[in-house]
Amino acid sequence: MSVHRMVCEGENSAEVLFVCTDDQCGRRVVLGKSSPKIVVIDDGEFGASHFGSMGGVFIDDVDAA
């Protein structure tokens, strides 16, 4: 099982955009800052495990079952 790192590529006051660093994957998710919501924009490589962090925001892929 592959492990991909995600990096912050943009943010506003309410949300943070995380993008996978794997060129073949392209997973993109948006995380809410104040609420623990996660919105998947692009699934990318669905079987891979994704993680990343930025400031106080931490992503640990809970939906990659």
Q: Does 20 bind Zn ion (CB under 5 A)?
A: yes
Q: State the nearest-atom distance from the C-beta of 44 to Zn ion, in Å.
A: 5
- Which range touches Zn ion (CB under 5 A), out of 9-17, 28-36, 48-56, 57-65? 48-56
Residue (of 58, 5, 57) closest to 27 by Cα position: 5
Q: Does 29 bind Zn ion (CB under 5 A)?
A: no
Coil, helix or strand for 48?
A: coil
Q: Does 44 bind Zn ion (CB under 5 A)?
A: yes
Identify whether the C-beta of residue 4 lies closer than 8 Å to the C-beta of residue 46: no
Residue (of 59, 62, 1) closest to 30 by Cα position: 59
- Name the site residues for Zn ion (rule: CB under 5 A): 4, 20, 22, 25, 27, 44-45, 48
